[in-house]
Amino acid sequence: MNFVGSHILSVSQFEREDVATVFAVADKMEPYAHRRKVTRVLEGAILGNMFFEPSTRTRVSFGCAFNLLGGEVRETTDIKASAIAKGESFYDTARVLSGYSDVIAMRHQLEGSVAEFASASRVPVLNGGDGANEHPSQALLDLYTIQNEIAGQGKDIDGLRIALVGDLKYGRAVHSLCRLIMLFNNIQFTLISSAGLRLPENYVEELRSRGHTVNLSDQLEEGIGQTDIIYLTRTQEERFPSQDEANKYRGLFRLNQAIYTKYCEPNTVIMHPLPRDSRGEASELDNDLNENPNLAIFRQTDNGVLIRMALFALVLDVVDQVDKHGRDVGWYTEKRF
């Protein structure tokens, strides 16, 4: 695909070589993301960071990525504080705000909302999550993390064995990740969920029609045995018709160190898009795994900055200028990454 000036709304836009392009640019961002160098390549550019649903890492890392390229960030974080609450349409809001920004990142609770907004925007729009539909930048950072984690074990994405666990029905991170991994060859998907929260049938059919293996299970211990990656998810309670309905599913699949030691291969990588639900009745990913070297959750969040920097650089067409505007930092940086 041609990234320059494009909206990034769905992983369906990508071919395998596009994923490789994003990852190569993300690699190039490493000294800037990890604060050994600074670049001012986007000096003067403005990101409209519009998050109409709760968000910590996606919103902050989009903003941080833009700042690290030298641009400025304007935030709109509350639907009640925007004219949408007065009945303004996405069309009008998009026409207006795209006049104030050079690129927009947006999250909204409705499926298709970001695409609708993008169709009226005068600048590129990056989907930060639209309801239960898609979360393309999350899928890219997840797959980038997977690639980096398994490279050390001499494996690559082709032939990957991945177990996806939890709320596969409403989890947009899972939806986008499945569609992205599907571009590779011979993947073994193990889908572990309650019957009521299975991956929608159209995704399962897509995976199978591309020749991948899909196994369904409702037993965590049975499903996590022979996998390279376990990808856990939170019950997406905000998408359920009622809180009582969500409560039925909370805490059904919990990974802790004892289960990991007993059932997993020694190098299985543990991932989660975060936030993990740390309330006692949920705890899908126990704190006793925090020191497990195969827990990749905070490497995922760090990688989110590299991936989002890469997307901005590609869409705004500055990939080749980043280093020209780069220099070493002058302050003390402790090794944090």
Among 70, 131, 136, 273, interactor with ligand NCD by CB under 6 A? 273
Instruction: Identify the CA nearest to 275 among candidates 264, 284, 266.
Output: 284
- Least spacing, CB of residue 142 vs ligand NCD, in Å: 9
Residue 133 sits in the site that holds ligand NCD (CB under 6 A): no
| 58 sits near ligand NCD (criterion: CB under 6 A) | yes
**For residues 41 and 282, which CB has a smaller minimum distance to ligand NCD in the complex?**
282
Under rule CB under 6 A, residue 179 binds ligand NCD: no
Hey, which residues between 223 and 262 contact ligand NCD (CB under 6 A)? 234, 236
Report d(CA 7, CA 236) in Å as an integer: 26
Nearest distance in Å: CB 241, ligand NCD:
18
Q: Can residue 135 be called a binding residue for ligand NCD (CB under 6 A)?
A: yes
Residue 22 or residue 173: which is nearer to ligand NCD going by CB? 173
Shortest Å, Cβ 61 to ligand NCD = 9
**Is the CB of 98 or the CB of 301 nearer to ligand NCD?**
301
Please list every residue from 283 through 322 that binds ligand NCD, using CB under 6 A.
Answer: none
| Smaller CB separation from ligand NCD, 274 or 319 | 274
Residue 131 gets the label, from left (phi > 0), alpha (psi -120 to 50) or beta, of: left
Shortest distance, position 53 Cβ to ligand NCD, whole Å: 7
Which CB atom, from 269 or from 322, has the smaller least distance to ligand NCD? Answer: 269
What are the angstrom distances between the C-alpha of 246 and each of 20, 73, 165, 278?
38, 35, 16, 16
Backbone φ, ψ for residue 89 (5° rounding): -80, 160
| By CB under 6 A, residue 172 contacts ligand NCD | yes
Answer yes or no whether residue 57 interacts with ligand NCD by CB under 6 A. Answer: yes
**Residues 64 to 103: which contact ligand NCD by CB under 6 A?**
none
Q: Does 37 bind ligand NCD (CB under 6 A)?
A: no
Q: State which residue, 179 or 234, has the beta carbon closest to ligand NCD.
A: 234
The smaller minimum CB distance to ligand NCD, of residues 270 and 319, is found at: 270
If one asks whether residue 274 binds ligand NCD (CB under 6 A), the answer comes out as yes
Q: Output the smallest distance, CB 236 to ligand NCD, in A.
A: 6
Output 38 or 289, the one with its CB closest to ligand NCD.
Answer: 289
Note whether 138 binds ligand NCD by CB under 6 A: yes
Least separation in angstroms between CB 193 and ligand NCD:
14
Which residue among 9, 173, 252, 311 contacts ligand NCD (CB under 6 A)?
173
Longest dimension (CA), the chain: 56
Judged by CB under 6 A, the chain residues 111 through 130 that form the site for ligand NCD are 129
Short-list 292, 269, 284, CA closest to 163: 269
213-217 and 103-108 as β-strands: parallel, antiparallel, unpaired? unpaired
Q: Which is nearer to ligand NCD, 58 or 147 (CB)?
A: 58
- Tell me which residues touch ligand NCD (CB under 6 A): 57-58, 129, 135, 138, 172-173, 234, 236, 273-274
